[in-house]
Chains A and B, each alone.
Chain A
Amino acid sequence: MNTQTVLEVRNLHTHFFLRRGIVKAVDGVSFTLARGEVLGLVGESGCGKSVTALSIMRLLPRGGARTIQGQIWLDGTDILTHTPRQMRDVRGRKISMALQDPQTSLNPVFTIGAQLREALMRRLRAAQAAITQAAIAALRAVDIAAPEQRMGQYPHQMSGGMKQRVVGAIAISGHPDVLIADEPTTALDVTIQLQYLKLLKRLQQDTNMAILFITHDFGVVARMCDRVAVMYAGRIVECGKVTDVFAHPSHPYTKALIASVTKLKGSSGRLPTIEGQPPSLMDIPIGCRFAPRCPHAEQRCRDIYPPSFPINDTHTADCWQLAPS
């Protein structure tokens, strides 16, 4: 695998400035993504995964969301300094995103064909007929049967799994270097999930695009990813190769997650509950965010957020237990 970095996020902070307080949804996230690599971003619901993704796309929801600090290096430029115009050129072509809910992600009043052609038209400055052919090919690439007929159909005429594949086709139609897939299978039922994951993996290998794969399902991480970043309350607490993290989970939060997944082997593999609740993102502890739930917490855990300690040269975790004594 080529190890050239295509996306590097450094110390990203995105907060929601609301009347009732500041929600620190993303509070110091850093990671890198190499060309052609699949990085899993796992964590419980509400820990800031989607906000991280939308910060990178610079498509934060209206109403007080702002990225106040950090850098997002894409192909050697910090896209946080881009003008809206420059950002538009980047979206779809260098970085793209597949959304979570297939039911609401397609525009109900336009045909599949129209929505796909529109995306392709930006890349191919070609004649109408050529674009239509490209759109049909794109549908075929995501395993849609009889794509010529599907072109003229509306989203409500398709099943959820099919819609999700169309969303995927649209997302990658600009041949992006990086695809962010935000829980792309959560809304699908289990057999269709598997199908979709296989498809995504195949497309990724064919095109050598890098994927930031967001999920709350450790089983999916094992199947899909090269590396994994574990997120907790707005920060990445552990990051490393999937094999290393599974074999030697080093942050107590990761340990608890993996222990409970193995215990529940055979079931869905979803993140089960751990004793206690994640902290409110409006009132984050000053020290380690996991300290209130951690069986090994000491005084310094509550006082100071730990730095990232290396376990090996690709594996790090933010935990005072790992401090060299």
Chain B
Amino acid sequence: MKRYIAHRLLQGVLLLCLVASIVFFVGRLTGNPADLMLPEDVSAEDRAALIQVLGLDGPLHEQFFIFVRNALHGDLGMSIRMRQPAVEAFFSRLPNTLAIIPWAILLAMAVGIPLGVVAALHRGGWIDRMAGAIAVLGVAIPSFWLGILLIFVFSVQLGWLPSGRMGGPSHYVLPVITLGTFLIAGFMRLVRSSMLEVMDSEYIKLARIKGLRESVVIWKHGLRNALIPVLTLWGVFVGNLITGAIVTETIFAWPGIGRLTYEAVIFRDFPLLQAVIILKSILILSINLLVDILYAYVDPRIRLA
């Protein structure tokens, strides 16, 4: 188990180096980043000054060396717009995103998993088709449209819930629904297909031979096995959510890292964008590692291998 974790850590570090290099070189490939940040009618001196401040005047390999060295010291540059270190900006916003993501996953699981189980148990019947339709709807509806629709109905028309910004529990409802809906289908489909396979297995037959109640057979013996493949994809789902948070946070004026990404783009805050991409990669990689460890815990065959 320890060797497995060490192996995964090493993999993660290599992947991260790759991401960082790509971010760096793609950034330079598209021209001098200074030009992206400056208005078109800037004077030559101002431009030269900025280039020097940003360390963009040396040869490329030297710039990369400086970038790596700074990164290793936790310095991913200054945000131009916010005049604060990009890393600081990221971490001050991160808790706000982490405050909605678990709820969104919980919502998606709470709806998607039972829907998948019920669909599997009624394979081919109308319940299965209904569940499939709900799931497809969840994917097909774009987040921005759903978000705006929810705001229109529940904030503007009914006035029940706030339309944006952080605040008490009521502020969470609409962003969480918008973010979570998108994942319902993922959970539902996975659970359905793995549940179908599991319920045909011999150990389910033995559970029934023992005379166990059907609910125990399904929700204990069946689901616990059916959830193993779901868990392996959990990391992917969280990754999806972190990406999906860009749209949701923008619509609901939610001050998280999704909205920070959006701001970095529209305000051409190049160092910030670079930092956000790298830090999000670290975040997603750590979550995946965590999930793999959890997976090993749930499936004894891996734990003891």
Give bound CA distance, A109 to B221, whole Å: 8
Q: Which residues of B contact A122 (CB under 8 A)?
A: 210-212
- Residue ID in chain A nearest B207 by CB atoms: A107
Partner of B206, one of A99, A157, A174: A99
Q: Is A105 an interface residue (CB 8 A)?
A: yes
Chain B residues, CB < 8 A from A107 = 203, 206-207, 221, 225
How many whole Å from A123's CB to the nearest CB in chain B?
Answer: 9
Is B298 located at the chain interface by the 8 A CB criterion?
yes
- Check if B201 is an interface residue, CB within 8 A of chain A: yes
Give the Cβ gap from B42 to chain A, nearest Cβ, in Å. Answer: 64
Expressed in whole angstroms, the Cα–Cα distance for A24 and B27 within the complex equals: 70
Closest to A62 in B: B200
Q: In the complex, are the beta carbons of B209 and A59 less than 8 A apart?
A: yes
In the complex, A105 Cα to B204 Cα: how many Å? Answer: 8
Q: Do B208 and A157 have beta carbons less than 8 Å apart?
A: no
Does A271 sit within 8 A of B, measured CB to CB?
no
Option from B202, B212, B221, B299 in Cβ contact (under 8 Å) with A104: B202
Question: Residue on A with the closest CB to B221?
Answer: A107
Near B by CB (< 8 A), chain A positions 66-122 give 84, 88-93, 96-97, 99, 101, 104-110, 118-119, 122
- Knowing A92-B210, A170-B210, A171-B209, the reply to whether A154 touches B202 (Cβ < 8 A) is no
CB of B300 closer than 8 Å to a CB of A: yes
> Closest residue to B203 on the A side, CB-wise?
A107
Residues of A within 8 A of B206 (CB): 99, 105-107, 167, 170-171
- A97 near B209 with CB under 8 A, answer yes
Q: How large is the interface on A (under 10, 10 to 19, 20 to 34, 35 or more residues)?
A: 20 to 34
Judging by beta carbons under 8 Å apart, are B203 and A91 in contact? no
Pair B209/A88 contact, Cβ less than 8 Å: no
Known A154-B301, A156-B301: A109·B209 in contact at CB below 8 Å: no
Q: Is B304's beta carbon under 8 Å from chain A?
A: yes
A307 at the interface (CB under 8 A from B): no
Chain B residue nearest to A100 (CB atoms) is B202
Contacts of A119 in B (CB 8 A): 210
Judge whether B202 and A99 touch: CB under 8 Å: yes
Q: Does B83 contact A (CB under 8 A)?
A: no
Q: A57-B209, A89-B211, A91-B209 are in contact. Are A105 and B202 (CB under 8 A)?
A: yes
| A119 vs B212: C-alpha distance when bound (angstroms) | 8
Question: Is B81 part of the contact surface with A, judged by Cβ < 8 Å?
Answer: no
Q: Give complex CA distance A1, B4 in Å.
A: 60
B213 within 8 A of A: yes
CB contact under 8 A between A154 and B300, given known A99-B206, A101-B202: yes
Q: Within 8 Å of chain B (Cβ to Cβ): is A61?
A: yes
* B-side contacts of A157, CB under 8 Å: 304
Using A171-B209, A174-B210 as known contacts, say yes or no to A109 and B200 having CB atoms under 8 A apart: no
CB–CB A154/B203 < 8 A: no
CA distance A154 to B303 in the complex (A): 11
Contacts A59-B205, A106-B203, A108-B225; is A92 near B211 (CB within 8 Å)? Answer: yes
B28 contacts partner chain A, Cβ-Cβ < 8 Å: no
Contact among B123, B208, B300 with A59 in the assembled complex (CB-CB below 8 Å): B208
Please state if A61 and B202 are interface contacts (CB–CB under 8 Å). no
Chain A hits for B205, CB < 8 A: 59, 99, 105
Contact status B300-A156, CB under 8 Å: yes
The residues of B that contact A108 with a CB separation of less than 8 Å are 203, 225, 299-301
A61, B207: Cα distance in complex, Å: 14
Shortest beta-carbon distance, B230 to chain A, in Å? 13
Q: How does the 8 Å CB contact mask read for A237-252 relative to B, with 1 for contact and 0 for none?
A: 0000000000000000
Q: How far is the CA of A122 from the CA of B213 in the complex (A)?
A: 10
Say yes or no: A88-B203 contact (C-beta < 8 A), given A108-B225, A108-B300.
no
Distance of A244 from chain B, by nearest CB (Å): 32
B214 at the interface (CB under 8 A from A): yes
**Cβ contact of A109, chosen from B199, B210, B298, cutoff 8 A:** B298
Closest to A154 in B: B300
Are B211 and A109 interface neighbours, CB within 8 A? no
Q: Which residues of A contact B225 (CB under 8 A)?
A: 107-109
Judged by a CB distance under 8 angstroms, whether B69 is at the interface is no
Q: How distant is the Cα of A99 from the Cα of B201 in the complex, in angstroms?
A: 11
Docked complex Cα distance between A269 and B199 (Å): 35
Complex-state Cα separation, A154 to B224, whole angstroms:
15
Give residues 213-258 of B contacting A (CB, 8 Å): 213-214, 221, 224-225, 228
Chain A residues lying within 8 Å of B300, measured Cβ to Cβ, are 108-109, 154, 156
- Could you say which residues of chain B place their CB within 8 Å of the CB of A57? 208-209
Within the assembled complex, what's the spacing in Å between the Cα atoms of A57 and B27?
68
Q: Kindly state the separation between the CA atoms of A306 and B212 in the bound complex, as whole angstroms.
A: 42
Q: Give complex CA distance A62, B224 in Å.
A: 21
Residues of chain A in range 38-80 having any CB-CB distance to chain B below 8 Å: 57, 59, 61-62
Sorted from nearest, which 9 A-B pairs have the closest CB atoms? Answer: A92-B211, A91-B211, A104-B202, A107-B203, A154-B300, A119-B210, A105-B202, A92-B210, A97-B209
20 A-B contacts (beta carbon < 8 Å): A61-B200, A88-B211, A88-B214, A90-B211, A91-B208, A92-B210, A96-B210, A101-B202, A105-B205, A106-B206, A107-B206, A108-B203, A109-B224, A109-B225, A154-B300, A154-B301, A156-B300, A171-B206, A171-B209, A174-B210
Identify 10 new A-B residue pairs, CB closer than 8 A, beyond the known A88-B214, A97-B209, A104-B202. A59-B205, A91-B211, A92-B209, A99-B205, A104-B201, A106-B206, A107-B203, A107-B221, A108-B299, A122-B211
Residues in chain A within 8 A of chain B (CB atoms): 57, 59, 61-62, 84, 88-93, 96-97, 99, 101, 104-110, 118-119, 122, 154, 156-157, 167, 170-171, 173-174
